[in-house]
Chain A
Amino acid sequence: MYIRATGNISPQRTFGHPAFLNEALEYKGNRLHCAEPDYRQVIDVKYIRRMSRIIKMGVAAALECLQEAVLVNPGAIITGTAYGCLEDTGIFIKKLVENNEEMLTPTAFIQSTHNTIGAQIALILSCNHYNNTFVHKGFSFETALLDAMLLLKENEAENVLIGAADEITDYSHDILSRFGLYKANLSSNLDLYNDHSKGTIAGEGASFFVLSNQSSQTDYAVLDAMTTFYKPQDTATIKEYIKEFLKANETTPEEIDLVIDGRSGDEKGDRVYKELSADIFFSNATQISYKHLCGEYPTATSFALWAAANILKHKSIPSVFLNQSDTGKHTRKILIYNHYLQVHHSLYLLSAC
Chain B
Amino acid sequence: MNAPVYVAGVGVISAIGNNTAECLHALENGQAGIGEITYLNTIHRSAIPVAEVKLNNEELAAKAKLSTLLSRTALLSSVAATEALLNAAIPELSRWRTGFISANTAGGMDKSETFFPAFLSDRYKGKLRDIINHECGSVTELVADQLGIKNYITTISTACSSSANAIFFGARLIRHNMLDVVVAGGTDALAKFTLNGFNTLMILDHQYCKPFDENRKGLNLGEGAGYMVLISDRVAATLKANPYCRLSGYCNANDAYHQTASSPDGTGSMMAMQGALNKSGLLPSDIDYINLHGTGTQNNDQSEGTAIMNLFGPYYPKMSSTKSFTGHTLGACGGVEAVFSVLAIKHGIIYPTLRLDTPIKDFPFVAETIFQKNVAVNNVLTNSFGFGGNCTSLILSKK
Choose one: A130, A137, A153; the contact of B135 (CB below 8 Å): A137
- In the bound assembly, the distance between CA atoms of A148 and B369 in angstroms comes to 41
Tell whether, in the assembled complex, residue A113 and residue B388 are in contact, meaning their CB atoms are under 8 Å apart.
yes
Asked whether any CB of chain B lies closer than 8 Å to the CB of A262, the reply is no
Give chain B residues whose Cβ lies under 8 Å from the Cβ of A133: 156-158
Tell whether, in the assembled complex, residue A110 and residue B258 are in contact, meaning their CB atoms are under 8 Å apart.
no
Tell whether, in the assembled complex, residue A98 and residue B157 are in contact, meaning their CB atoms are under 8 Å apart.
no
Task: Specify the chain A residue showing the minimal Cβ separation from B173.
Answer: A150
- In the bound assembly, the distance between CA atoms of A77 and B386 in angstroms comes to 16
Asked whether any CB of chain A lies closer than 8 Å to the CB of B283, the reply is no
Given A129-B253, A132-B252 in contact, is the A96-B260 Cβ separation under 8 Å? no
A93-108 toward B: CB 8 Å interface, digit per residue (1/0)?
A: 1101110111011100
Choose one: B1, B119, B124, B150; the contact of A230 (CB below 8 Å): B150
Tell whether, in the assembled complex, residue B200 and residue A131 are in contact, meaning their CB atoms are under 8 Å apart.
no
The stretch from B189-197, B220-228, B319-327 touching chain A is: B189-197
B180-193 toward A: CB 8 Å interface, digit per residue (1/0)?
A: 00000000000011
- In the bound assembly, the distance between CA atoms of A171 and B141 in angstroms comes to 23
- In the bound assembly, the distance between CA atoms of A147 and B132 in angstroms comes to 28
Choose one: B1, B105, B156; the contact of A132 (CB below 8 Å): B156
- In the bound assembly, the distance between CA atoms of A79 and B17 in angstroms comes to 35
- In the bound assembly, the distance between CA atoms of A128 and B391 in angstroms comes to 10
Task: Specify the chain A residue showing the minimal Cβ separation from B153.
Answer: A230
Give chain A residues whose Cβ lies under 8 Å from the Cβ of B44: 101
Tell whether, in the assembled complex, residue A131 and residue B390 are in contact, meaning their CB atoms are under 8 Å apart.
yes
Asked whether any CB of chain B lies closer than 8 Å to the CB of A163, the reply is no
Asked whether any CB of chain A lies closer than 8 Å to the CB of B372, the reply is no
Tell whether, in the assembled complex, residue B201 and residue A128 are in contact, meaning their CB atoms are under 8 Å apart.
no
Residues in chain B within 8 A of chain A (CB atoms): 1, 42-44, 105, 112-113, 116-117, 119-120, 123-124, 128, 131-132, 135-138, 140-141, 150, 152-159, 165, 169, 172-173, 176, 192-193, 196-197, 199-201, 252-260, 267-268, 271, 386-390
- In the bound assembly, the distance between CA atoms of A115 and B268 in angstroms comes to 16
Give chain B residues whose Cβ lies under 8 Å from the Cβ of A84: 136, 157
Choose one: A143, A150, A174; the contact of B123 (CB below 8 Å): A174
Residues in chain A within 8 A of chain B (CB atoms): 77, 82-84, 89, 92-94, 96-98, 100-102, 104-106, 109-116, 118-120, 122-123, 125-137, 139-140, 143, 147, 150, 153-154, 171, 174-175, 178-179, 228, 230-231
Tell whether, in the assembled complex, residue B259 and residue A128 are in contact, meaning their CB atoms are under 8 Å apart.
no
Give chain A residues whose Cβ lies under 8 Å from the Cβ of B268: 128
Tell whether, in the assembled complex, residue A135 and residue B253 are in contact, meaning their CB atoms are under 8 Å apart.
no
Give chain B residues whose Cβ lies under 8 Å from the Cβ of A93: 112-113, 116, 193
Please, could you name 19 A-B residue pairs with CB atoms under 8 Å apart, sorted by A?
A92-B193, A93-B112, A96-B113, A106-B197, A113-B157, A115-B157, A115-B387, A119-B254, A119-B259, A122-B388, A128-B254, A128-B256, A130-B252, A131-B253, A136-B153, A136-B154, A137-B137, A143-B154, A175-B128
Least distance between B188 CB and chain A CB atoms (Å)? 12
Give chain B residues whose Cβ lies under 8 Å from the Cβ of A96: 113, 192-193, 196
Tell whether, in the assembled complex, residue A132 and residue B165 are in contact, meaning their CB atoms are under 8 Å apart.
yes
- In the bound assembly, the distance between CA atoms of A135 and B163 in angstroms comes to 13
